[in-house]
């Protein structure tokens, strides 16, 4: 499996990563190698095998009581935000 520059551009767009022109071919080569390395998986006989999403078999989701346990901590949390105004997180204009 070989990934082209365009493939890398597409993936980088989905992942919202800026990749420079110079880096594109470098990533194309290393990603191609990595994906090529995955091809050995196809040799495994997995017919009828359930995919394993979790190492904890037979464990099920615990449920929480419907209680409000949190209070307003906005100012503390927004201390980490790059840009806020009037309690809102600011971003370049969203166009719907």
Partner 1 sequence: MSIEWETVIGLEIHAQLATRSKIFSGSSTAYGATPNVQANLVDLGYPGVLPVLNREAVRMAVRFGLAIGARIARRSIFARKNYFYPDLPKGYQISQYEQPIVEGGSVEIWLPDGARRIGITRAHLEEDAGKSLHEGLGKQSGIDLNRAGTPLLEIVSEPDMRSAREAIAYMKKIHTLVRYLEICDGNMQEGSFRCDANVSVRHKGRHEYGTRCEIKNLNSFRFVERAINYEVARQIEMLEGGGSVVQETRLFDSDRNETRPMRSKEEANDYRYFPDPDLLPLSLDEEFIEQIRSALPELPDQKAVRFAHDHGLSGYDAGVLTASRDLADYYEAVVALLGDEAKLAANWVMGDLSGFLNRDNLEIGQSPVGAKQLAGLLARIVDNTISGKIAKEVFEAMWEDRSDADAIIEAKGLRQITDTSAIERVITEVMTANPAQLADYRSGKDKLFGFFVGQVMKASGGKANPAQVNELLRKMLAG
Partner 2 sequence: MTAAEIGRGLRAGKFTSIEVTRHFLERIDHAGKQLNAFITVTPERAMADAKRADARIARGEGGPLTGVPLAHKDIFCTEGVLTSCGSRMLSNFVSPYDATVVERLAVAGMVMLGKTNMDEFAMGSSNETSWYGPVRNPWDGSKVPGGSSGGSAAAVAARLAPVATGTDTGGSIRQPGALTGLTGFKPTYGRVSRYGMVAFASSLDQAGVLAQSAEDAALVLGLMAGHDARDSTSVAVPVPDYAAGLGRSMKGLRIGVIREFFGEGLEEGTGRAVRTALEGFSAMGATIVELSLPNLPLSVPTYYVVAPAECSSNLSRFDGVRFGHRCKDPRDLLDMYKRSRGEGFGAEVKRRIMTGTYVLSAGYYDAYYLKAQKVRSLINEDFRRAFSEVDVLMGPTTPTPAFAIGAKVDDPITMYLNDIYTIGANLAGLPAVSVPCGLVDGLPVGLQIIGPHFAEERLLAAAHAWQLMTDWHRRLPPLFA
Q: Which stretch binds partner 1 (CB under 8 A): 1-9, 21-29, 33-41, 64-72?
A: 64-72
Question: According to CB under 8 A, which one of 44, 45, 49, 85 is a site residue for partner 1?
Answer: 85
In whole angstroms, the minimum distance from the beta carbon of 86 to partner 2 comes to 16
CA 5 – CA 21 distance, rounded (Å): 9
d(CA 86, CA 80): 15
Q: Which long-range contacts (CB under 8 A, 24 or more apart) does 34-40 make?
A: 35/1, 35/3, 36/1, 36/2, 38/1, 39/1
* From candidates 1, 6, 13, 29, binder to partner 1 by CB under 8 A: 13
Q: Which range, of 1-9, 10-18, 21-29, 39-47, touches partner 1 by CB under 8 A?
A: 10-18
> In the complex, which residues of this chain contact partner 2 (CB under 8 A)?
3, 8, 11-12, 14-19, 27, 30-31, 33-35, 37-38, 40-42, 44, 46, 49-56, 59, 61-62, 64, 73, 76-77, 79-83, 89, 91-95
Is residue 90 within 8 A of residue 83, CB to CB? The reply is yes
Alpha carbon distance 22, 30 (integer Å)? 14
């Amino acid at each position: 499996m070989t990934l082209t520059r365009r493939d890398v551009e597409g993936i980088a767009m989905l992942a919202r990563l800026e990749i420079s022109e110079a880096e594109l071919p470098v990533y194309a080569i290393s990603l191609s190698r990595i994906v090529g390395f995955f091809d050995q998986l196809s040799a495994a006989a997995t017919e009828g095998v359930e995919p394993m999403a979790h190492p904890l078999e037979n464990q099920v989701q615990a449920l929480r009581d419907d209680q409000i346990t949190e209070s307003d901590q906005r100012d503390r949390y927004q201390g980490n935000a790059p840009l806020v105004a009037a309690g809102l997180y600011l971003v370049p204009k969203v166009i719907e």
